Amino acid sequence: MTSGSIASADLDALLVTARTFVRDELVPLEPTLLHGSWASIEPALAKLRVRARALGLWSPFLPKSLGGLDLPLDAYARLSEVLGWTPFGPYVCNCQAPDVGNMELLLQFGTSDQKSRFLDPLTRGDIRSCFAMTEPQHAGSNPVWMSTRAVRDGDEWVISGHKWFTSSADGAAFVIVMAVTDPDAQAPHARASQILVPLPIPGYSLVRNISVMGDVGGGWASHAEVRFDHVRVPVTNLLGPQGHGFALAQERLGPGRIHHCMRWIGICERAFDLMCRRAVARELAPGDPLANKQAVQFWIAESRIEIHASRLMVLDAAARIANEGQEAAREQIAYIKVFVANTLQRVLDRAIQAHGALGMTDDTPLAWWYRHERAARIYDGADEVHKTVIARRALKPYFNAQVRAAHAPPA
């Protein structure tokens, strides 16, 4: 993230502009995506990307020298919530995952040549990228267990491996691949590196777009299975120092989770809005709207409370990252990953329930989000992993106190 600043009044004006743009110009396009394909809507979105740039909404996280808004993390978090109101809000404003994380990595660790070849066209929105880390044969909860290898052969890296859930690989111009370059390194986290691979390239294949709860997707809105079969790239395509792949990955995780969580809150707000509208409009009998039922009132109240709590937790974590760094905010980042992901699932489920049969169709975006965002409790670390870390940190002083008491001299 950049370290810019923005006055409160300017941020409020920016959020008003974004909210109007999303609701007046993006939301009306949703039926095309929900009932069609990414390819059918991409030409219209390309025009709206030009419109977003003209409105001053382009690349909010990037420095102004690269055409961005130079927003600090907490301000960008608030904008992410507004853009999350619609499935393609971040994409239209060039702050979509995984491109935003790749841009941040290249900005911080890329060489001049790497920035010219990969970062600059990405910041302009001329190309898209992807990030290949997860492997189907290994548990994602243990990221250091990886089979993809990159072997040095003269002035080239030779990459071989099998990845999946490489989001947005369909149509991407390059991939950042995590591969083991130092298999004998004593520390497991020092074995892997990140390498830039331009696409298409001999030896690389996109096996398929993976069907997610029945939706194969396409273009940016897809998750791919890919293979690297002796793919050769120059050694100069190494991103950052050799063996620092996981250190670089950690750099994108903290801010990335802020982005995701605030986008999820935007989805929650949209689902909440749809649920309330449905509760008032849908009658169970003449003159007896769904909103009169206590169960529905409880869903609405619980959702409102949980969304509000989620927002406060995320903004608190963002402020701590900005003021003290990611390491100091490590526990708060784990909190929000778990709490907001579960809030998202509960709010979407209540909204679908309130819509009845309509909620299961693609006549609203609820089912689309439920398919694609149920994974919020899995990607970027399963909830259970984060809960274990939180519990261990909470218990540590108690174990230490117990040890001290056991070794204390008798009274």
Query: Where residue 104 sits, what CATH number does that domain have?
Result: 1.10.540.10
Domain hosting residue 235, numbered range: 129-239
CATH number of the domain where residue 372 is located: 1.20.140.10
In a shared domain, residues 252 and 342:
yes
Q: Which residues pair with 196 in a beta bridge?
A: 176
Q: What percent of the chain shows pLDDT beyond 90?
A: 86
> Positive or negative CA dihedral for 243, 246, 249, 251?
negative
In a domain, 122, yes or no: no
> Cis (ω within 30 of 0) for the bond into 98?
yes
Residues 276-287, mean pLDDT to the nearest whole number: 97
- Of the pLDDT bands very low, low, confident and very high (cuts 50, 70, 90), residue 250 is confident
Q: Verify that 22 and 93 share a domain, yes or no.
A: yes
Question: Are 38 and 99 within 8 A, CB to CB?
Answer: no
Answer with the one of 110, 138, 172 that is the final residue of a domain. Answer: 110
Over residues 40-89, the pLDDT tens digits come to 999 999 999 999 999 999 999 999 999 999 999 999 999 999 999 999 99
CB neighbourhood size of 53 (10 A): 17
CB 331 within 8 A of CB 390: yes
Residues 6 or more apart whose CB falls under 8 angstroms from that of 93 comprise: 18, 49, 52, 57, 58, 59, 60, 83
Beta-carbon contacts of residue 192 (< 8 Å; ≥ 6 apart): 144, 146, 178, 179, 180, 181, 182, 243, 245, 246
Structural domain tally of the chain?
3
Give tens-digit pLDDT for 302-312. 999 999 999 99
Longest dimension (CA), the chain: 79
Phi, psi (5° rounding) for residue 283? Answer: -100, 135
At 1, the pLDDT band (50, 70, 90 cuts) reads very low
For 251-273, what is the mean pLDDT?
A: 91
| pLDDT tens profile 332-365 | 999 999 999 999 999 999 999 999 999 999 999 9
Question: Mean pLDDT score of the chain, rounded to an integer?
Answer: 94
Q: Provide the pairing of β-strand 129-132 with 174-180.
A: parallel
pLDDT at 32: 94
32, with CB counted inside 10 A (0-12, 13-18, 19+), is: middle
User: What share of the chain in percent tops pLDDT 70?
Assistant: 99
Alpha carbon distance, N-terminus to C-terminus of the chain? 55
Residue 229 has pLDDT above 80, yes or no: yes
Stretch 188-195: mean pLDDT, rounded?
94
Q: Are residues 76 and 218 in the same domain?
A: no
Q: Please compute the mean of the pLDDT values over residues 103-129 and round it to a whole number.
A: 97
Angle at 244 between CA 256 and CA 116, to 5 degrees: 70
Give the span between the Cα atoms of 203 and 187, in whole angstroms.
Answer: 30
What is the rounded CA–CA span in Å between residue 188 and residue 173? 30
- The 3-class secondary structure across the chain, one letter per residue, is CCCCCCCHHHHHHHHHHHHHHHHHHHHHHHHHHHHCCHHHHHHHHHHHHHHHHHCCCCCCCCCHHHCCCCCCHHHHHHHHHHHCCCCCHHHHCCCCCCHHHHHHHHHHHCCHHHHHHHHHHHHHCCCCEEEECCCCCCCCCCCCCCCCEEEEECCEEEEEEEEEEEECCCCCCEEEEEEECCCCCCCHHHCEEEEEEECCCCCEEEEEECCECCECCECCECEEEEEEEEEEEEHHHEECCCCCHHHHHHHHHHHHHHHHHHHHHHHHHHHHHHHHHHHHHCEEECCEEHHHCHHHHHHHHHHHHHHHHHHHHHHHHHHHHHHHCCCCCHHHHHHHHHHHHHHHHHHHHHHHHHHHHHHHCCCCCHHHHHHHHHHHHCCCCCHHHHHHHHHHHHHHHHHHHHHHHHCCCCC
Q: Please tell me whether residues 50 and 139 are part of one structural domain.
A: no
Residue 391, in any domain of the structure: yes
What are the structure tokens assigned to 6, written together? 């923005």
141 and 167 inside one domain: yes
Q: Are residues 231 and 251 in the same domain?
A: no
Q: What is the CATH number of the domain that holds 137?
A: 2.40.110.10
The answer to whether residues 343 and 375 belong to one domain is yes
Q: Which residues of 185-213 are buried (b: 16+ CB within 10 A; e: fewer)?
A: eeeeebbbbbbbbebeeebbebeebbebe
Chain center to CA of 374 = 13
Q: Is 255 exposed, middle or buried (0-12, 13-18, 19+ CB in 10 A)?
A: buried
How would residue 316 be classed by pLDDT, with cut points 50, 70 and 90? very high
Q: Which of these three, 205, 239, 273, is where a domain ends?
A: 239
Q: Is residue 406 part of a domain?
A: no
Domain boundary among 189, 207, 239: 239
